Chains A and B, each alone.
Chain A
Amino acid sequence: MRSISMETVEAKRAEILATLKDQTATHEQKVTYLARHAENFLTVLDEPEGLDELMRCEQEDRCICNLFEGDAPYRPRYICPDYPKFMKEGSAFLQLDPPKDLFEALNNLQILYHNVPSITNYPVYIGDLDLLLEPFVKDLDDETVKKALRLFLTSVDRTILDSFCHANIGPTMTRTGMLLMEVEAELQNAVPNLTMRVSKDTPDEFVMAGIECALRCAKPSFANDRMFRSELGDDYCIASCYNGLYKGGGSYTLCRLLLAGIAKRSKNIQDFKENQLPHVMDVMARYMDARVRFLVEESGFFESNFLALEGLIRRDRFSAMFGLVGMAECVNDLLAKEGIEGRFGHSEAADKLGVEIMEQINAFCNAHPAPYCEATGGHYLLHAQVGMDYDKNSTPGTRIPVGEEPAELIDHLKNINLFHKYFISGAGDIFPVDLTVHKNHKFLLDVIRGSFDLEIRYLSFYGSDSDVIRVTGYLAKRSEIEKLAEGHNVLLNTTGLALGATRNCHAQDRRVR
């Protein structure tokens, strides 16, 4: 391990003290931050040369971001347990037998949730709840099932203190799935995030129930089941914001290219494509390699954690996510440097350059040999990252910036259709919907069906006057954001991110459709 200077130690001590005294953080939030401070005293990673210049520099010059993952990875960023196996076999470590009824099933799940680590220390995937619970609801009436679900979901919302927690439903229609949406619409909770996987065989009735629910509580979102299945096979799930990952696996890490920063250091398009982008991608990929290697080879996680020992996760079902943000700003900057008119999302030249950049990143990713990623062909998966609360002048993934959305939804969708296909581990777009204009919600059904016939991967909608809103990928309550803005403690970690995203990224100002 490399040594660090006393100056660095003193700086870190000051940060620790500030965390400790922070009156807007709850006790649990402080414990999480303090653990991260401790981790960051370590210098164990075999970092590639040139990383500091690209990652540990002034914000506006930054080209790589590790999303505060910490300098000594000791658990995968995203873990997606094999819940069907857990339901079938229980867990020796947790001293749980397989459940025999709905109440045991829900109780077992809640216990497991508390023991699933992640980057946030809360589970980012809590199962395909409809399919997991459907066998247990047969002999129960609707009211009993709803009461059990209501208690379960309330407990999830108040104990999993982070809305990167994600449940899945669909693509088949089930009674549990319908009841679950009914209860969610009533509860108006930010946690869990919810995705409905939609295929051609998903009945309209089920998708419509999803749309009605989404317009009341900003969830579920809708995932293109055909696309994910063709890329990842049948055992995929949607975790965290909208990340396609393997069940029984997950993602070791997620780092992101800050495309706006890379464009900034480029003289022109040619310099960007031939020098700057290849260099930054190479450094980031090798940094990710180092993170993955430490986690797998040295941290001991996969040798000791009960999830791995009991087969609820398998090391060979993990991959890692090669993320990016700021495509819009990158393209706009490069076009300006060339003196070419046009803005991302509004001109053919801009969209064409965006696609060329994606092709280049995709080709790099598919060529770089990623350690311990045999599940995904030995390569990392591209990810259109949803941004961070501290991002400025950087739009999530390949989205069109808030405030610049095309006047017509069709033009917006056509842009999206160019980009979603690259991001196997997730890309998504969000549309607030004016419910006083649109009383005919089947119009959203047509938008979803049409999108999923094309190459659009993931769509979210919410009522423009709803309290629960989708911020960038996760959910938050407007009322809680306001409370935090006034300086009060709030229960969910993500409310803090939502406040930052509101202030820095205008996340509440999207064009209403």
Chain B
Amino acid sequence: MKALVNKIIPFSSVDGPGNRTAIFLQGCNFNCLYCHNPETINQCVNCGQCVKVCPVGALSMQDGKVCYDYTKCVFCDACFKQCPNSSSPRVRSMTPEEVMVEVRKNVPFIRGITVSGGECTRWRDFLVELLGIARAEGLSTLLDSNGSYDFSQDPELLAVTDGVMLDIKAWTSEDHKAVTGVDNTQVRANLEFLARAGKLEELRTVVVPGLFDAETAVREASAVAAPWQDKHPMRYKIICYRPMGVRESEKERLQQPTAEYLQQLADLARAQGIRDVVIT
């Protein structure tokens, strides 16, 4: 069984506690306006647009498919910045074992792995196997999820997952649709389920003033999660929207929040009883 892997970051300090290898899987069922890695959203349709813009000839068309030569790549990112399809030609199809070969290179400097995306749960069978191997080798396993997958129906996946870092992109369905294009009934169900199950590692909200009601999102999500903190320590990460990586078409209408506003939101989370709140 294989998954499409957009990239693997050997050392990451921003994808969970300590130093972790972060694995980004391709494909997402949300389409967040502020997505900072839109090249992970869709699968490549082999349109060949990127082949034309590659400055070093690392990309070519062979039998109607885009081929990528890692050894020539200078990682200028021109290919996916020009992609009309929110994808990337650098995506590799890998088995869990192939991913683990990359992960093992970083042992013993890492304490675990975090699988992100895209939306990693779209590769559920792959995840079960990858996380199972990582666990067996003494690495902790975290998932970074948009919450669209019904975790309550998948004890097998939860059994190999130490925790989920759940995006709270908005609270009301209307707001959530404005940010992501889809409803969030499942996300809210997951928030409570994961918190109760002791599997909620982190809540995260990207703050974009005017796009959605961040105060309600932070307050309500905190209230749901806070009672379960003793089962599994959790952190609320209030994330400042930054235009880095965001699609040009969206950049103009998205604003950055002030430091004071972020602080207010952090205080809201604390007022609901969340002990570990960070602004980043």
Contact = CB atoms under 8 A, between A and B. Distances in A.
Interface string B105-143: 111111100000000000000000000000000000000
Contact of B11 (A439, A443, A445, A449): A443
B243 interface: no
Contacts of B197: none
B110 A440 contact: no
Interface stretch (A114-122, A338-346, A405-413): A405-413
Contacts of A410: 10-11, 105-106, 109
A446 B111 contact: yes
A449 B18 CA distance: 11
A409 B110 CA distance: 12
B19 A446 contact: yes
Contacts of A454: 108
Interface in A149-185: none
Contact of A439 (B105, B107, B108, B280): B280
B17 interface: yes
Contact of B18 (A409, A439, A446): A446
A419 to B, nearest CB: 17
B49 to A, nearest CB: 27
A138 B237 CA distance: 40
A373 B26 CA distance: 61
Given A440-B13, A440-B14, A454-B108, A447 B19 contact: yes
A450 B109 contact: yes
Given A437-B13, A440-B14, A440-B17, A446 B280 contact: no
A482 interface: no
A454 B19 CA distance: 16
A409 to B, nearest CB: 5
A442 B106 CA distance: 16
Most chain B beta-carbon contacts within 10 A, residue among A413, A443, A447, A450: A443
Interface string A400-418: 0000000011100100000
Contacts of A453: 108
A19 B280 CA distance: 52
Residue of B13, B18, B106 contacting most chain A CB atoms (<10 Å): B13
Residue of B12, B19, B111 ringed by the most chain A CB atoms within 10 A: B19
Interface of B is mostly: loop
Interface size bracket, A side: 10 to 19
A437 B280 CA distance: 9
B10 A442 contact: no
Contacts of A450: 19, 107-110
A438 interface: yes
A413 B17 contact: no
A443 B10 CA distance: 12
Interface in A413-454: 413, 437-440, 442-447, 449-451, 453-454
B45 interface: no
Interface string B196-215: 00000000000000000000
B47 interface: no
A454 B107 CA distance: 10
Contacts of B20: 443
Contacts of A444: 19
Nearest to A434: B13
Contacts of A438: 13-14
Interface in A441-471: 442-447, 449-451, 453-454
A347 to B, nearest CB: 13
Nearest to B9: A408
B18 A437 contact: no
B10 A408 contact: yes
A443 B108 contact: no
A442 B17 contact: yes
B14 A446 contact: no
Contacts of A445: 18-19
A438 B18 CA distance: 10
Nearest to A411: B10
Contact of B278 (A408, A439, A447, A451): A439
Contacts of B10: 408-410
Interface string B58-77: 00000000000000000000
Given A446-B19, A447-B19, A437 B14 contact: yes
Contacts of B111: 446
A442 B14 contact: no
B103 to A, nearest CB: 11
12 contacts: A408-B10, A410-B106, A410-B109, A439-B278, A440-B13, A440-B14, A440-B18, A443-B12, A443-B20, A446-B18, A450-B19, A450-B110
Shortest beta-carbon contacts, A-B, top 3: A450-B109, A446-B19, A443-B13
Given A437-B13, A439-B280, 7 more contacts: A409-B10, A410-B11, A410-B105, A438-B14, A440-B13, A442-B19, A445-B18
Interface of B: 10-14, 17-20, 105-111, 278, 280
